[in-house]
Structure 1
Amino acid sequence: MASFTPSTASTARASELREALASRVVVADGAMGTMLQAQDPSMEDFEQLEGCNEVLNVTRPDIVRSVHEAYFSVGVDCVETNTFGANLAALGEYDIPERIFELSEAGARVARETADDFTARDGRTRWVLGSVGPGTKLPTLGHAPYTALRDAYQQNVEGLVTGGADAVLVETTQDLLQTKASVIGARRALEALGADLPLLVQVTVETTGTMLLGSEIGAALTALEPLGIDMIGLNCATGPAEMSEHLRYLSRHARTRVSAMPNAGLPVLGRDGAHYPLTPAELADAHETFVREYGLSLVGGCCGTTPEHLRQVVERVRDMQPTERQPRPEPGAASLYQTVPFRQDTSYLAIG
């Protein structure tokens, strides 16, 4: 880890982001990988590691910057770093796990430079969300040790913070133990660096109505909220329609702020492969509804969403005030699968 001291500017940006999330709708970006691949990077660009998008942060920062520019140009407030796979599991598959910090720092630096360029043009602060992806190993199923994942996530976040991220976004999580490894690794990184950044978490709920390993949204909230996160939400796997009931639950019960970054609908297979059917106007409609009904503070897009999708989202929600939520937290305990509220309907309550 390189030496690092939080600057006055970075501390001010993080504080301003917290204020924005508390007072208005903040709009993030959309899909990253498809836009990188559309520019047809060569095997040389990938350093012969085909598909390892994070390497482009070092070899082709111009390509990565162009994606950030496309989203900032349509008015979004923040972009995610190109670091979704900068973790032990994903980089381990390319035999380069020792490059977690390097590629994380480089990805954050490219996004930071782009954000600062746009801020310099009009004075409006743009933020960088440090993307912490799930990797491909599920510790609950014994794919990798929890401690190894946690320590690698710490390296990941130390790189993101050093490179200039304004918040940490743990996203697309499918296993609650992996989510905890990410969050606790991130916490250790922030403490080690003396940085106080918002910590945002987004879980992925499948069309089955649960996370990949069967966890309901209530179990996720009960397990994650005590870790001191600033926001909980959903991203990936489905379009906004399938997220609605889960967001309703979070809106009613979460003490933290709530976010959503859905796909552009469910993929449809055609002759040319899969495509996502949700139009930009339909995504904007959905986010307007989410902000009005569930009081969302952060919205954006995931797979299949484009700068045009986000342009219309910005136009629709930028001036909206999120509906004030009055959550009713339910104290309880959670297994991997569900939460059990501490309500006694009989005289005896056993927890084991």
Structure 2
Amino acid sequence: MGLLERLKTDILVGDGAMGTLLYERGIEHQCFEEINITQPDQVISIHREYLQAGADVIQTNTYAANHLKLSKYGLEERTAEINRRAVALAKQAAADKAYVVGTIGGIRRFQMEESTLDEINEALTDQLITLIDEGVDGLLLETFYDLEEALMITKEAKKHSSLPLIVNVSLGDIGVMSGGIQATEAFSLLTKAGADIVGLNCRMGPAHMLRSFEEIPIPEHHYLAVYPNASLPDYRDGRLFYSSNPEYFANMTGRFIDQGVRLIGGCCGTSPSHIKAVAEVAKSRVPVQKKTLKFTVREPIPEVDLTGSEKKLTEIVRKQSSVIVELDPPKKLSTKRFMEGAHALKEAGIDALTLADNSLASPRIDNLALGTMVKEQVGMRPLVHLTCRDRNLIGLQSHLMGLHALGLNDVLTITGDPTKIGDFPGATSVYDLASYQLISMIKQLNEGISFSGKDLGERANFTIGAAFNPNVKYIDKAVKRLEKKIESGADYFMSQPVYDHQQLEAIYEETKHMTQPIYIGIMPLISARNAEFLHNEVPGIKLTDQIREAMSTHEGNREASKQEGLAIAKSLIDTAMDYFNGIYLITPFMHYDVTVELAGYINAKTKIKQNQSIFE
């Protein structure tokens, strides 16, 4: 009798974890899927232990056996061999007394994606075809955090086979996937795409999964599955540990069955003892046909009250000339000179003071703290940079929630310079996300939803800037990156410093189709050494030969160099203002007197233009 036929009348028991069990047994620093070839007896032994515990359905040891994941171990050429061997081992252990399902794990997570969706589709499709060809009894797609990816491979599976198809997704919060997608909605879409059995696995223990199932109806023509983790993991001495709680699993099994679940196994941290506990309960029960749904009342997230709030930067720069100035947070503990500069720039009439986030990977005073000081003590709009380098997902969301709480609603998202170039080259660069993903997540906060899908109770009100580097060989490719950031939700752009009049015109021609405004970066030079350093050593900045020569003529004369740098900056501003409303001045080495003068120059030009338009 086939798997789906059995589920019409029986509760079936799945197996438990393979990877964490191998880990517990001393296999730490190699690919778990490679064990199919190098230590097959270990895999067969675990399969048999689960079968002896009462499992009706066992999984092949192929969770990450796709060529994208295996390439990290140099095993991509052995992808098919590893999958074929895994099926053979599972079949040998099952001996036709249990169903063998070919397991395929999701690739996408919250983190920075190294592969495109097309590449993921190719990798997972190749894997599922191999598993099908080896004669598995069904397919199990598991640990899919991303619904788009899960739907994609579900459709591919149905295109290539009529085998029973189990699709388990992983939740970001109780009842919701990342992005705020309700589990009920996800299940409905997956069954329409071809899944026969839909369920939840990984990330959560039994309690949170049970609460999710209490809101999920029993499908009429499909079945529900659950594979919870043993518990929340603990971390001790560099290793992860899960609580051993088989009796608890036994208690929860009956409650899952009451919610209409018909296939029950285990995920991370579970062992044969957990599965034995599940089997002892499941074998004495019959499937539940009806249940009473528990509805969680979710209050609608209120719209942001903008009464009395200041205009957004995007509103300002679309209508008139706008000046923002970057003033680097200090590397030392004193904020005296920084605050003097902030006050001076406020008097100069700029629209925002932008605060870098540990620029060039060197630690500085936290820009959240300085942004608060600028807002409260100077009465000026702070524009806070946010890099992906220094914070993981938890830290990024926490930081953004703090910005929201303080009313600092203007942010610039950047990936960030690698730590190798900074004061602590041995520090870890996090890069959980790329900048365009961070943009998407901030937009999600503006909907009142956390990165994981949790309801945050109210909406944030961030205006999101993104970086633009036009100093590249092919500017059209740089513009395509801008378009990708626009798709993610960028509201405006701030460019790297530009030192070429013709380039300013080229930027305009390449971006004039965009509705998102651009602040053109202008950074005044203060010496010939400064010019050569920027040109030769700082990523994303290039100077023309003419400008470098002009600065070199004043080498050794500090004041003359400064005046030459100001003259060059004013000339670039003249050209930039012919094409763009936004100017982004970058203060060199805390010489805020220079950017104060340039801000005054821009404001004077703006007034002249306004007067001319009146008389015209």
State TM-score, norm by structure 1. 0.76
1:309 matched to 2:274: yes
Structure 2 partner of 1:259:
225
Structure 2 partner of 1:73:
52
Which runs of structure 2 are paired with 1:171-182 in the superposition (5 Å)? 171-182=142-153
What is the aligned counterpart of 1:294 among 222, 247, 259? 259
Q: Report deviation, 1:181.
A: 2.7
What is the aligned counterpart of 2:18 among 11, 32, 35? 32
Q: Report deviation, 1:212.
A: 3.8
Residue identity matched to 1:318:
K
Residue identity matched to 2:103:
S
Q: 2: CA distance between counterparts of 1:221 and 1:254?
A: 12
Structure 2 partner of 1:240:
206
Q: Report deviation, 1:101.
A: 2.2
Contact 1:129 1:167 in 2 (8 A): yes
Which runs of structure 2 are paired with 1:263-278 in the superposition (5 Å)? 263-270=229-236, 273-277=239-243
Query: Tell me, which stretches of 5 or more residues in structure 2 are unaligned?
Result: 294-443, 454-616
Q: 2: CA distance between counterparts of 1:34 and 1:218?
A: 29
What is the aligned counterpart of 2:135 among 152, 161, 164? 164
Residue identity matched to 2:280:
E
SS at match of 2:55: coil
The range that moved more, 208-217 or 144-153, is: 208-217
Deviation per CA, 1:94-134: give whole Å up to 9, x if none: 24334332211211111011101xx4xxxxx3111211111
Q: 2: CA distance between counterparts of 1:296 and 1:222?
A: 16
Contact 1:103 1:159 in 2 (8 A): no
Structure 1 partner of 2:575:
none
Deviation per CA, 1:293-312: give whole Å up to 9, x if none: 21211001111111111111
Change in Cα spacing, 1:183 to 1:140, as seen in structure 2 (3 Å) is farther
1:62 matched to 2:41: yes
Q: Report deviation, 1:88.
A: 3.7
Q: Report deviation, 1:252.
A: 4.3
Contact 1:255 1:327 in 2 (8 A): no
Structure 2 partner of 1:322:
287
Residue identity matched to 2:90:
A
Query: Tell me, which stretches of 5 or more residues in structure 1 are unaligned?
Result: 1-14, 43-49, 120-124, 191-195, 329-335, 339-352
Q: Report deviation, 1:245.
A: 2.8
The RMSD of aligned alpha carbons is: 2.7
1:284 matched to 2:250: yes
Q: Report deviation, 1:225.
A: 1.8
Identity across matched positions, percent: 30
Q: 1: CA distance between counterparts of 2:45 and 2:240?
A: 25
Contact 1:233 1:247 in 2 (8 A): no
What is the aligned counterpart of 1:131 among 87, 103, 114? 103
Contact 1:109 1:164 in 2 (8 A): no
Residue identity matched to 1:37:
Y
Deviation per CA, 1:146-195: give whole Å up to 9, x if none: 222222212111222233321100001000111123212322332xxxxx
The range that moved more, 170-179 or 139-148, is: 139-148
Contact 1:153 1:186 in 2 (8 A): no
State TM-score, norm by structure 2. 0.45
Structure 2 partner of 1:47:
none
Aligned residues: 296
Contact 2:54 2:279 in 1 (8 A): yes
Q: Report deviation, 1:57.
A: 1.1
Q: 2: CA distance between counterparts of 1:140 and 1:180?
A: 19
Residue identity matched to 1:307:
P
What is the aligned counterpart of 2:94 among 115, 124, 130? 115
Structure 2 partner of 1:103:
82
Deviation per CA, 1:290-329: give whole Å up to 9, x if none: 10x212110011111111111111111112101113799x
Deviation per CA, 1:188-239: give whole Å up to 9, x if none: 332xxxxx31001000013465324443213312331211210100011011
Structure 1 partner of 2:169:
203
Q: Report deviation, 1:66.
A: 0.8
Residue identity matched to 1:147:
D
Change in Cα spacing, 1:104 to 1:323, as seen in structure 2 (3 Å) is same
Contact 2:65 2:104 in 1 (8 A): yes
Contact 1:199 1:231 in 2 (8 A): yes
Q: 1: CA distance between counterparts of 2:152 and 2:271?
A: 31
Q: 2: CA distance between counterparts of 1:184 and 1:69?
A: 32
Q: Report deviation, 1:141.
A: 7.1
Larger radius of gyration: 2
SS at match of 2:163: coil
Contact 2:225 2:264 in 1 (8 A): yes
Q: 2: CA distance between counterparts of 1:105 and 1:187?
A: 20
Higher relative contact order, structure no. (Cα contacts within 8 Å, ≥ 6 residues apart): 1
